[in-house]
Structure 1
Amino acid sequence: MKSVKVVVVGAGVVGLSTAVCIAEALPFCSVTLLADKFSPNTTSDVAAGIMFAAQFPDVPQEQQKNWYKDTFDHLLKIAESKQSPEAGVMLFSGYQIFKEVPVQKKPIWAEFVFGFRLMSDRELERFPDHKFGQAFTTIKCECTSYLPWLEKRFRKAGGMVEQRKVNSLEELSGSYDIIVNCSGLGSKTLVDDSQVYSVRGQVLSVQAPWLKNFIRDGDGKTYIFPGIHSVTIGGTRQDDDWRMEVSKEDTEGILQRCCRLEPSLSKAKILHEWVGLRPSRKNPRVEREEVPMHGRKVPVVHNYGHGGYGVTLAWGTALDALGLVRQCLHEMLPQARL
């Protein structure tokens, strides 16, 4: 009999990764995943899904590197397996280019991707507006395939899924022993976190099967990412913008910028236009607290605020969240072998 009831709130890439980690590592726990939106209607479904990270100011660099490495290793194992097509995870190569030479020529994640090197002058000739570039092979994770695959893995581990809107953590305290909050933007109201803000992203899916290599401008706003079925081009980074409607002006801007980098895109057919709101925060919140609810202190583990790097860091922060759940269990069940 499963003695401890754990609930994970949120079914984006962070929530599903966390739910899978807990369900697989702690089989004596009953794990339920609660969310009002599931794939294909989550913010993660809009993500371009490239393994690429920025640095957060107040998170130890070693911890950030671990988050990246753990996620890269997890996705690499899938990319090299027969499950790669179903999971939508694959290796792909390309360039990141800069209009000005960056202060940090070699990012902290360079040691984990394959073949990282600086671009040659000859390679940069095709990008006359850019002075510096990096070439490497990384991983692309297409969440419209990956999230359903993760959910199937979660159910296989004994996890239960329920679609419903959670208005407050208090409403869960009577039914669950540990609450894991992966609600992304929802944390702004769910746990009254004023540090959470939206960064609006608009992307296009186009038909351009001749493109094989990714191109990403170092400003983070312009990118071309070939995928299994189509090419994702983008994008926008609009702070505190909550509009979910597709903007014609943004579409035109994206096409103009991407065609400047890759002129052949002018011949590509537009298949779809999407908008997603990145759940951003100065630093991701991966921590635990005891919250008074209905006369008792309920352990709450938080894992949210990844911004545009959810796919990149999800498995790494999920493993940290699992560690925090283990800590809660040690205090609740001191004799248990965890």
Structure 2
Amino acid sequence: MKTVRVVVVGAGVVGLSTAVCIAETLPFCSVTLVADRFSPDTTSDGAAGILYAAQFPDIPLERQRRWVKDSFDHLLAIAQSQQSPEAGVMLSSGWQIFKEVPANQTPFWSDLVIGFRVMTDGELKRFPHHRFGQAFTTIKCECSSYLPWLEKRFRRAGGRVEQRKVNSLQELSTSFDLIVNCSGLGSETLVGDSQVYPVRGQVLKVEAPWLQHFIRDGDGKTYIYPGIHSVTIGGTRQEGNWKLQVDRGDSESILERCSKLEPSLCKAKILSEWVGLRPSRRNPRVEKEVVQLQGRRVPVVHNYGHGGWGVTLAWGTAMDSLGLVRQCLQETPLQAKL
């Protein structure tokens, strides 16, 4: 059977997950991962990495549920294995709280996490400005550990890694039979997608080992996520802001907001400050197309635009992308039979 040359562009959590899925599942594919930035220099590296989902407006809910479930099940298996410390994947319990009672008190993902329930009045007493809350156990995935672990897994499956910037799909068309685009914000220039835009996020890592439970404000801007080595507190959601420098005012606002929810944070030592640009879109783009490149019809699978939900959706959309790769190979003369 002829070897199919596949390239995956982008080495964040979405790109690496997709590359691993293809390399491990399709042994007749030679998979190369190409990116200008690898861990620890990706946007994914600074992410809080908590599995929590938003609902996208134009994607069937069942498909979104499948993305979340596949990701949760994949990471839960790692969290419950001996690989957990090296992969940086752990179970995390805590609360999501709301200043007003939300219209939808039971989100679509409530049965996909563990032990989802409405908080009691007694539990809410510690948050006097909030009227409603949800308690559940989910997963925290620390990408600074998880991405190198995934890359090792990819290399074990025969994958190859190349660090360089890809400016156009044309550059890849002569060396590869199929392109998988996981370039995030880079898709604006790489494939001319004007619908992808940055949402600037700033977080602080603090030393507060006494904190064991996450607290997330329902506004999505204020959160406290204890991890293995530190606690991530945040944050910001600034649409269209490309600024990568740490903003002192944002750091002060984050500390003030989080300390109101968890007063002991005023005793925490600040370890680092970080800024990342989430690759956002009205809906993530997970689809296939055929592109004319230098006189050849080249199948392209897109998997990008996850915004702040990259860790939550990465394995699920990677599995979806694997299915799209299979479809592309069945529809082209590259493979007679799969």
TM value normalised by structure 1:
0.99
Quote the residue 1:226 is aligned against: 226
> How far off its partner does 1:334 sit?
7.7
Quote the residue 1:154 is aligned against: 154
Residue identity opposite 1:11 in structure 2: A
2:262 corresponds to 1:247: no
> How far off its partner does 1:208 sit?
0.2
Q: Distance in 2 between matches of 1:56 and 1:17?
A: 21
2:64 corresponds to 1:64: yes
Residues 329, 335 of structure 2: 8 Å contact kept: no
Q: Distance in 2 between matches of 1:85 and 1:76?
A: 13
Q: Distance in 2 between matches of 1:218 and 1:186?
A: 30
Write out aligned runs for 1:205-224 (5 A).
Answer: 205-224=205-224
Q: Where do 4+ consecutive residues of structure 1 move more than 6 Å?
A: none
> How far off its partner does 1:331 sit?
1.8
Residues 86-127 of structure 1 deviation map (CA, whole Å, 9 limit, x = unaligned): 000000100000011111101111001111000000100100
Q: Distance in 2 between matches of 1:317 and 1:152?
A: 20
Residues 4, 334 of structure 2: 8 Å contact kept: no
Residues 221-249 of structure 1 deviation map (CA, whole Å, 9 limit, x = unaligned): 00000000000000000000000000000
**Matched positions, count:** 338
User: Kindly, what percent of the aligned residue pairs are identical?
Assistant: 76
Q: Distance in 1 between matches of 2:53 and 2:243?
A: 25
Residues 88, 228 of structure 1: 8 Å contact kept: yes
Q: What SS does structure 1 have at the residue aligned with 2:162?
A: strand
Residues 114-170 of structure 1 deviation map (CA, whole Å, 9 limit, x = unaligned): 110000001001001100000000000000000000000000000000000000011
Residues 170, 294 of structure 2: 8 Å contact kept: yes
- Gaps of at least 5 residues in structure 2 are none
Quote the residue 1:102 is aligned against: 102
Residues 276-328 of structure 1 deviation map (CA, whole Å, 9 limit, x = unaligned): 00000000000001111111111000000000000000000000100010011
Q: Distance in 2 between matches of 1:34 and 1:70?
A: 25
Quote the residue 1:43 is aligned against: 43
2:124 corresponds to 1:124: yes
Q: Distance in 2 between matches of 1:79 and 1:103?
A: 33
> How far off its partner does 1:332 sit?
2.4
Q: What SS does structure 2 have at the residue aligned with 1:33?
A: strand
Residues 2, 30 of structure 1: 8 Å contact kept: no
Q: 1:335 to 1:35 in 2, by over 3 A?
A: closer
Residue identity opposite 2:43 in structure 1: T
Write out aligned runs for 1:5-84 (5 A).
Answer: 5-84=5-84
2:163 corresponds to 1:163: yes
Q: Distance in 2 between matches of 1:76 and 1:286?
A: 24
Residues 197, 279 of structure 1: 8 Å contact kept: yes
Residue identity opposite 1:289 in structure 2: E
Residues 17, 314 of structure 1: 8 Å contact kept: yes
Residues 225, 232 of structure 1: 8 Å contact kept: yes
Quote the residue 1:187 is aligned against: 187
Residue identity opposite 1:43 in structure 2: T
RMSD (Å) for aligned C-alpha atoms: 1.0
Residue identity opposite 2:92 in structure 1: F
- Gaps of at least 5 residues in structure 1 are none
Q: Distance in 1 between matches of 2:294 and 2:336?
A: 26
Quote the residue 1:144 is aligned against: 144
Residue identity opposite 1:26 in structure 2: L
Write out aligned runs for 1:255-266 (5 A).
Answer: 255-266=255-266
Residue identity opposite 1:84 in structure 2: S
Residues 98, 132 of structure 2: 8 Å contact kept: yes
TM value normalised by structure 2:
0.99
